[in-house]
Amino acid sequence: MSSIVRDKKRAHAQQIKDRFISVFIGIFALVWLFPIVWTLWSSLRPYSEIRAGGVFSPPQELGLFNYTNAIDRMDLPRYFANTALITIPAVFLILLFGSLIAFVVTRYSFKFNVAMLLLFTAGNLLPAQLVFIPVFKMYLAVGDLVGDRRFLYDSPLGVILIHVAFQMGFATFVLSSYMKTIPKEISESAMIDGASVFTHFFKVMLPLLRPALASLAVLMTTWIYNDFFWALVLMATDNKRPITSALGRLQGEFVTDYNLLAAGAMIAAVPTLLVFFILRKQFVSGLTLGSTKG
Amino acid sequence: MSQLKTAVTGTQKTRRRRFFSARDKVTLGFFIGVPTFLHIALVWFPAIATIMLSFTYWTGIRLEDIQWAGLANYENIFFNSPIFWDALRVNTIWLLWFFVIATPLGVLLAYQIDRQIRGHQFYQSAYYLPVVLSLAVTGIIWNFLLRPDGFVNGLLGLPIAEAISFFGDDRYNIWVIMIMASWRHIGYIMLLYLAGLKAVDASLREAASIDGATEWQTFLKVILGAMRPVNIIILVITIIESLRAFDMVYIIYGSSGGLPILGVLVYNNIAGEGASMKGAAYAVILFLLSIVPIIAYLNQQFKEDNN
């Protein structure tokens, strides 16, 4: 009897504790969202109002004028086009190369399978700063070789290549763990049927990889979209830069109209917010595929 | 393609024997050749080159101009660049903050959310939102709260003339940056840990509670133990993120060094006008500082492969 009473008491105490924990985490969740909500709110008001009446002044004018202004004056469509020009080919190549390596490493017996995988995974973990100087000089040298100094340096192509080189390490790692879960028999029957390596990869394996590729694509798009460093150091001409790297300069330029900058930052965040609201499942599974192996 | 070998291990021999046509060999060569070339040419070769260049003087791009410097660049950093020690101090504080406060908070948060406390879905979304934002956007958003005419100074009732300069004042700036960094880091850790927790066998937890373990005991003795692989990954991410921090500090301070950190210091010495091989030495130091977590990570991930 007494142990049941004790258990009941404990369950009750746990319930109270849970409610307390829930409230506590809830308050913090609101605090967490607050910076974004505040920026959103500010972006709907003119900066002059804040200068005149302080941050808590009641709004006289609310609207999307900062947004239309930002798109116009900050030249945002151009930066978005720059971003797309870098992100789309880079993600495509990362997925292609990553799945090629993972395919060969997991489906064919090599002497150095693990070593290959190690090479790519470790490469992905090296700091960007460690590779920058020689990459920069190589880009200039290749540019001189083909007679156009801006062939790789200060060009989307150069930024694409470095992203591909780095991130395909991650993609290889994730895709090879995923491929190991696909039964070997599928490959074996393809080979017995006399499929060429080419058919085996493109017709048999690639369709099976679709879920993993979708997750990786979302994750890679977010990462490359959010990249700040590479576009900053490999591009000298500001109006070739993608939106995330351009924000640095825009912040300096529009420091006199902070609410306009708020609108600009919000617009720059839209693609990542879409990931948050719509593609969350893919994003999270992409992230965790790499870190916990499924 | 002589390196292509058919498997020779015992019983698998007959099953795995393959004959590649010439076309298949070429295909396979392309499949691994092109990506491997790109990866080595743009990641491994430059990494090794930087390590070698850190022992030289070199400006320009002509190879003839390279001059041997011995350890001069490193001596310069260790003995003549007080800013290096300042930056190291800030990065150490960053690491300790993440290690002692942000990462444990993310783990506890994941644990509570995984228990499906009331409102857990909303909470999870709220903490996860900052993870998708770029650090550049994060910097701008927080600047909004902390500028002289921003929310916090407004809340404190301070007019612009007396406003606290959160980013400029040495008493506050590092803590403000820590809070901003944690805003993203806690959600990131929470996401990773949640995924790990989902994989923990629920019966483990039930068994613990039947045995009369309290929540706290269950967490410490059962969950943490079962989560060892994820723990290592989280530890590695914590160390690497705090050592390599760059974007957020750069978007707020530029290259001014208002808050010296290693990432910006390396940037100042490898890009733009101040570029020199001292920058290479800085980059190597940054690399060496993070080599232990890198090895720990690889060891963790490849342990299963070798079994």
CATH code of the domain covering residue A156: 1.10.3720.10
Same domain, A165 and A250: yes
The CATH topology of domain B72-306 is MetI-like fold (1.10.3720)
Residue B152 to residue B166: CA distance in whole angstroms? 10
ipTM for the predicted complex comes to 0.87
Across the interface, do A126 and B43 touch by the CB < 8 Å criterion? yes
DSSP string, A65-124: HHHHHHHHHTTHHHHHHHHHHHHHHHHHHHHHHHHHHHHHHHHS-BTTHHHHHHHHHHHH
How does residue B306 score in pLDDT terms, banded at 50, 70 and 90? low
Same domain, A143 and A258: yes
Q: How many helices (H) and strands (E) does chain B have?
A: 18, 2
DSSP string, A242-277: -HHHHHHHHHHHTTT-HHHHHHHHHHHHHHHHHHHH
- Residue B15 pLDDT > 60, yes or no? no
Same domain, A213 and A282: yes
> Could you tell me how far CA B59 lies from the centroid of its own chain?
30
Structural tokens at position A62: 């609310």
- Residue B41 pLDDT > 90, yes or no? yes
Report if residue A123 sits inside a domain.
yes
Pick from B31, B39, B46: CB nearest A168:
B39
Residue B186 to residue B208: CA distance in whole angstroms? 27
pLDDT at A230: 92
pLDDT at A155: 92
Same domain, A31 and A84: no
Mean pLDDT of chain B: 83
Q: Does A283 contact B at CB distance below 8 Å?
A: yes
Same domain, A152 and A192: yes
By the 8 A CB rule, do A87 and A225 touch? yes
Structural tokens at position B103: 């990462």
Q: How crowded is residue B41: how many other Cβ atoms within 10 Å of its Cβ?
A: 15
Tokens 């410097």 found at: B69
Report if residue A101 sits inside a domain.
yes
Same domain, A129 and A253: yes
Across the interface, do B154 and A123 touch by the CB < 8 Å criterion? no
Structural tokens at position A284: 């999270």
Mutate to test the interface with A, among B4, B23, B37, B50 (most CBs of A within 10 A): B50
What are B68's strand-pairing partners?
B56
Q: Does B119 contact A at CB distance below 8 Å?
A: yes
Measure A101 CA to nearest chain B CA, in Å: 6
A-contacting residues in B 69-98 (Cβ below 8 Å): none
Same domain, A115 and A32: no
pLDDT in tens, B174-221: 999 999 999 999 999 998 888 888 877 777 777 877 777 777 787 787
Report if residue A249 sits inside a domain.
yes
Report if residue A131 sits inside a domain.
yes
Q: Provide the number of CB pairs (under 8 Å) joining chain A to chain B.
A: 296
Same domain, A263 and A137: yes
Residue B35, CB-side half-sphere exposure with 13 Å CA sphere: 33
Across the interface, do B250 and A228 touch by the CB < 8 Å criterion? yes
Where is average pLDDT lowest: A206-210, B212-216, B282-286, B290-294? B212-216
Q: How crowded is residue A165: how many other Cβ atoms within 10 Å of its Cβ?
A: 26
Pick from B45, B192, B244: CB nearest A287:
B192
Same domain, A221 and A106: yes
Same domain, A146 and A277: yes
Q: How crowded is residue B113: how many other Cβ atoms within 10 Å of its Cβ?
A: 20
Task: Please give the average pLDDT of every successive group of 10 residues along chain A, which has 294 residues.
Answer: 68 81 89 91 84 78 86 89 95 94 83 84 90 91 88 93 94 88 84 82 88 90 91 89 86 79 90 86 77 44
Q: Does B251 contact A at CB distance below 8 Å?
A: yes
Residue A96, CB-side half-sphere exposure with 13 Å CA sphere: 11
Show the domain range for A91: 74-292
Mutate to test the interface with B, among A28, A79, A129 (most CBs of B within 10 A): A129
Give, to the nearest 10 degrees, the angle between helix B22-39 and helix A76-107: 130
Pick from B20, B119, B147: CB nearest A26:
B119
Question: What does pTM read for this prediction?
Answer: 0.88
Pick from A162, A247, A273: CB nearest B140:
A247
Domains in chain B: boundaries: 12-53, 72-306
Same domain, A98 and A34: no
Report if residue A104 sits inside a domain.
yes
Measure B166 CA to nearest chain A CA, in Å: 16
Report if residue A267 sits inside a domain.
yes
Report if residue A69 sits inside a domain.
no
Tokens 């910076």 found at: A35
| Number of domains observed in the structure of chain A | 2
Q: Does A207 contact B at CB distance below 8 Å?
A: no
Measure A276 CA to nearest chain B CA, in Å: 7
pLDDT in tens, B83-132: 999 999 999 999 999 999 999 999 989 988 888 888 888 888 899 899 89
Same domain, A196 and A115: yes
Measure B171 CA to nearest chain A CA, in Å: 22
